[in-house]
Chains A and B, each alone.
Chain A
């Protein structure tokens, strides 16, 4: 049997009030910066994030809730191009992009 694929996931959504892209942070709040995301590496962790997302959705804080693949070589980053663009902004308007981290990286 092939070994199970390693898990590396974060929780993302958009803020209800203004649509801003958010990541569920290790601090237990929602952050605009993906580098602050809480990364999980176990199925239990994924289940926990899924529940947190569902609760935040039910509490009308966020919409479009998804647990997505992330990499953590150095800073935490989404794996797919779509999610990288969501985390930073349109690649054709770099002037409007936000950095991935509050430090401006």
Chain B
């Protein structure tokens, strides 16, 4: 894992000091809310329905055990004993007091964490594949580029006041687990014909009220040119992005208004004209960063591992959990464990202080003291020996995190919605809870197979509903919560925006509607066909007919 150097440490401490001063001035009335609001947002502090909410950046979803323990302690000391992992691989606290923020930030700073770049019109905290460095299908470790982007973008003076927020995601594998085509910039690490490593660059993806799948602007960018090329994109956006209308301010609109060809031309022109050598990372610096992501001291393990195979044979529940929650590891004898934060009836992405401490303890014992956060609001232990999996699974069972449901119908993304969020139109969490309870039976879930349900409480789409195989969007219909269904979205390399299939459903009817959609799939699926494959074959019509009858 990356460790702060003196420079990182200094700027973080300076910012903590500045914010302490700003909070004190605000509490004394020396700063007005208009003056203070942008300052608190720069530190990740929002006002929600019940209290302030603090969003803490987890760069590319990677946490040390020390950090996770600290996050748990903060939940105990400054919040109400729990926190929420988000679709941007970050963590949010819901009950924060402004007067305690300086001390809280100082505690976060002591473990190299903060809330910078989690709000405001800057380059936001970069996200990446949760299996970075351990996935067998990876060309290169995306954490290296992610860390370089983190350092380059932190407090970048030129990009502190962009037309709108700006999100970058990186994947090192062809199979996209980081939803890169729904980001302002998506980077896929690839090899060219000469087998050199570089980036396939996508620009202008996004969700929100105008969902757009990103445009490929470069099939291959040499690895060493990354920063100058990112800068060229950001410069074109900073110069021409719309500042007059916040709904048209994202780069996706600029790409659309200019046309992809013209946008690319402008970026290339800017890039060619820039002093690339000045901006690009010197190879020695990349090597320095890369060293932080060197493999942990793996053991040489002969496979198959008898204890693991026996446990799988003798314990059906364990075998099922392995099938869904353990990802193939690049190192024989190891697995990457996804810890489900989606128990039946639970709140997707929520974890208590005790659960966080317990996960940190497990990571220390079994996973080289590292934890990852996924954009699907789960956690990952990236380096677990197959021989230890049974013990890990049992330990997770004790804290309610052993559900064998990763990628299945109850592994739902849900944003905080109207239970917490000041911008919401409708509640998201209760809908997720109803669905996960209705489909709690694991036999049924495993029979249904891979299915991604994603729920947002408003059109801002933090719950990624546009990219859900089944997407649910909460809307306000004359003061009453209603839910629209979209079908066929996907966030992977075959990215697709879901299609709205008809009129919305009331809070009482949405569960039944989702169940009808799933039943329809079960009736029409061909052998081995997943939900999304079946939808792509038959389209929306059979689902519509089932939901609304013949028209």
Q: Cβ of B139 < 8 Å from any Cβ of A?
A: no
The one of A21, A86, A92 that contacts B429, using a Cβ cutoff of 8 Å:
A92
Q: Cβ of A63 < 8 Å from any Cβ of B?
A: yes
Which stretch (A1-9, A37-45, A77-85) binds chain B? Answer: A77-85
A80-B479 contact in complex given A16-B98, A57-B33, A92-B347, C-beta closer than 8 Å: yes
Total number of B residues with any Cβ neighbor in A under 8 Å: 31
Q: Cβ of A64 < 8 Å from any Cβ of B?
A: yes
Q: Compute how far the CA of A85 lies from the CA of B48 in the bound complex, rounded to whole angstroms.
A: 12
Which stretch (B186-194, B419-427, B492-500) binds chain A? Answer: B419-427
Q: In the complex, which residues of chain B have a beta carbon less than 8 angstroms from the beta carbon of A79?
A: 479
| B50/A19 in contact, CB under 8 A | yes
| A91/B424 in contact, CB under 8 A | no
Q: Compute how far the CA of A89 lies from the CA of B32 in the bound complex, rounded to whole angstroms.
A: 27
User: How would you classify the secondary structure of chain A's contact residues: helix, strand, loop or mixed?
Assistant: loop
| B99/A91 in contact, CB under 8 A | no
Q: Compute how far the CA of A79 lies from the CA of B422 in the bound complex, rounded to whole angstroms.
A: 16
User: How would you classify the secondary structure of chain B's contact residues: helix, strand, loop or mixed?
Assistant: mixed
Q: Cβ of A35 < 8 Å from any Cβ of B?
A: no
Q: In the complex, which residues of chain B have a beta carbon less than 8 angstroms from the beta carbon of A81?
A: 418, 479-481
| A17/B419 in contact, CB under 8 A | no
A17-B429 contact in complex given A82-B49, A86-B50, C-beta closer than 8 Å: no
Q: In the complex, which residues of chain B have a beta carbon less than 8 angstroms from the beta carbon of A18?
A: 51-52, 97-99
Q: Cβ of A29 < 8 Å from any Cβ of B?
A: no
| B49/A91 in contact, CB under 8 A | no
| B47/A63 in contact, CB under 8 A | yes
| A16/B97 in contact, CB under 8 A | no
Contact mask A82-105 → B, CB, 8 Å, 1/0? Answer: 100110011111001000000000
| B50/A89 in contact, CB under 8 A | yes
Q: Cβ of B157 < 8 Å from any Cβ of A?
A: no
Q: In the complex, which residues of chain A have a beta carbon less than 8 angstroms from the beta carbon of B542?
A: none
| A60/B29 in contact, CB under 8 A | yes
B425 CB to nearest A CB, Å? 8
Q: Cβ of A31 < 8 Å from any Cβ of B?
A: no
A21-B50 contact in complex given A81-B418, A92-B347, C-beta closer than 8 Å: yes
| A91/B419 in contact, CB under 8 A | yes
Which B residue sits closest to A95, measured CB to CB?
Answer: B80
Q: What size tier do the contact residues of chain A reach?
A: 20 to 34
A77 CB to nearest B CB, Å? 14
| A19/B418 in contact, CB under 8 A | no
Q: Cβ of A20 < 8 Å from any Cβ of B?
A: yes
| B50/A82 in contact, CB under 8 A | no
Q: Compute how far the CA of A91 lies from the CA of B420 in the bound complex, rounded to whole angstroms.
A: 9
The one of B97, B99, B418, B479 that contacts A85, using a Cβ cutoff of 8 Å:
B418
Q: Which residues 244-287 of B have a CB within 8 angstroms of A?
A: none
| A14/B479 in contact, CB under 8 A | no
A86-B49 contact in complex given A16-B98, A19-B98, A57-B33, C-beta closer than 8 Å: yes
Q: Compute how far the CA of A20 lies from the CA of B96 in the bound complex, rounded to whole angstroms.
A: 9
Identify which of A21, A80, A89 gathers the most chain B CB atoms within 10 Å of its CB. Answer: A89
Q: Cβ of B27 < 8 Å from any Cβ of A?
A: yes
Q: In the complex, which residues of chain A have a beta carbon less than 8 angstroms from the beta carbon of B96?
A: 19
New contact pairs (16) apart from A19-B96, A21-B49, A90-B94, CB-CB < 8 Å:
A14-B51, A16-B33, A18-B97, A19-B52, A21-B50, A60-B29, A63-B47, A81-B418, A81-B480, A81-B481, A85-B418, A89-B50, A90-B50, A90-B429, A91-B419, A91-B430
